[in-house]
A and B are shown apart, each in its own frame.
Chain A
């Protein structure tokens, strides 16, 4: 078991074995700068400075606003919310690729994430080269990756396309490869974004078998999805996000009900 706060932390003290959480987010805020107001070139920055005498000239909006969340090991957590509610930002923070503006993230275990379909691949490279690229970025040795290539291709059902550059893949093929690579890392925590919606029924059945095995071995899955019926079946609890805040956490049925009748929006304004 490994404790990693955001990556590169030198002081990764080992947690006691009894610690039951997979994620602990404390007061996490992610403030994006409004894109329209942000000067993107030195020229604009200098001109703006000459005109207004201000270096900083942008407003921020909080994609996540003071979110605290503790997720237990061995659970399936669904995250729902309308577009722009902060779901993807939350996933990125959990996947440790986005450092929050404020707050603390503690991760207990290794994480593998599938945040956007097909990302994490170089479109110019073929499937095998991408498997090596991905593995090496996870600090795996050459021999280690080599021994897994066949298994990954087989799971993704892409043996016939092993030498085809990813850019010629259909989105389904790329997603299958992404899924196969992500689960092959055998992480303690799997973070997925809409991945279940890809592939045909047979592939989806395969995915859910993998998920079941995952859960049996006490691992944690975090899913963002708009597919409510899927979430109702798979998730043990659901977090409902709205405007960067958690408005509800708990029973899936209740959360989906709330999400559908939009009652939380008025509750938030009141």
Chain B
């Protein structure tokens, strides 16, 4: 008796992008819906939403530049440029835990590839990341630094970050279907990752032997890429970028592999 045949080992990666294109209408609709909910269809709603990260960031900026006296010039810009990619990663990873449960009603009636819901989340948060760019640019200008031309490389720098975020979210979402205490572990893991990433500090403040290991964390370099183009005004080193892109692709591959292996069992557990 043959079980329904599995998609072959490698084809699920191209298949992922084909499906992403096939469901573009759904992705567009749900990103717009999330944005409408978040910003309440008004400019004031947008400002209001930006107040929270700005306030959080100001606290960190004051503490680290004036009390802990981190020797980094224009620390607020430095910090904000690092927080943007970090917050994107962090919030998507945490929100992905609920995605499968929240959409169970839909996929128990309509046959869809379930990672579409993870993708919709990653795109929504990507849109939020783009909105959060505006305050960063304003702060840069207000502090008299201006915006470097290299900022135009942002879309390219986002690619490895996006792939990593999708990959990790797929893994966490899968885990949460089977183990509903994944959140506790994820929180610890994310906290560890936060301090293993150069969000608060400059890599030069660390001993070289540590950095040598920390760069293995894909996020480490991705945060630096964003900081390179907005704060340092330089493009990422092409070789490092290429290696990082491969690493990010691997994270996506791993995420897809785990997700695809388990998604048929989701309905048995929900």
Contacts and interface: CB of A to CB of B under 8 A. Distances in A.
| Bound pair (A, B) | yes
Interface of A: 5-11, 26-27, 32-33, 38, 40-43, 45, 92, 95-105, 111, 113-116, 119-122, 125, 129, 132-142
Given A9-B5, A99-B264, A129-B33, A137 B113 contact: no
- Sorted nearest first, the 6 A-B pairs with minimum C-beta distance are A136-B26, A120-B109, A99-B264, A41-B181, A42-B179, A96-B111
B180 A103 contact: no
Interface in B102-148: 105-113, 116
B205 interface: no
B113 A7 contact: yes
7 contacts: A5-B5, A7-B112, A41-B181, A98-B268, A102-B3, A116-B109, A137-B110
A151 to B, nearest CB: 19
Contacts of B268: 32-33, 98
B9 interface: no
A125 B32 CA distance: 13
B22 A139 contact: yes
Interface of B: 1-5, 7-8, 11, 15, 19, 22-23, 25-26, 28-30, 33, 105-113, 116, 179-182, 185, 264, 267-269
Nearest to A143: B25
A120 B11 contact: no
Contacts, number: 110
Contact of A132 (B7, B23, B29): B29
B31 to A, nearest CB: 11
B234 to A, nearest CB: 41
Contacts of A103: 1, 3-4
Contact of B11 (A7, A10, A101, A135): A10
Given A40-B180, A41-B179, A100-B4, 14 more contacts: A6-B4, A8-B113, A26-B1, A42-B179, A42-B182, A45-B179, A92-B108, A99-B4, A99-B264, A103-B1, A115-B108, A120-B105, A132-B29, A136-B25
Contacts of B4: 5-6, 99-100, 103-105
B109 A115 contact: yes
Given A133-B26, A140-B25, A42 B109 contact: no
A95 B181 contact: no
A92 B179 CA distance: 24
Contacts of A119: 105-106, 108-109
A136 B29 CA distance: 8
B260 to A, nearest CB: 9
A120 B181 contact: no
A29 B66 CA distance: 66
A7 B111 contact: yes
Contact of B179 (A10, A40, A98): A40
A8 B114 CA distance: 11
Nearest to A125: B33
Nearest to A7: B111
A137 B105 contact: no
A137 B112 contact: yes
A140 B109 CA distance: 16
A95 B29 contact: no
**Which of A11, A116, A133, A141 has the largest number of chain B CB atoms within 10 A?**
A133
A117 B169 CA distance: 31
A105 B105 CA distance: 22
Nearest to A107: B111
A59 to B, nearest CB: 14
Nearest to B14: A10
A134 B111 CA distance: 11
Contact of A43 (B113, B181, B267): B181
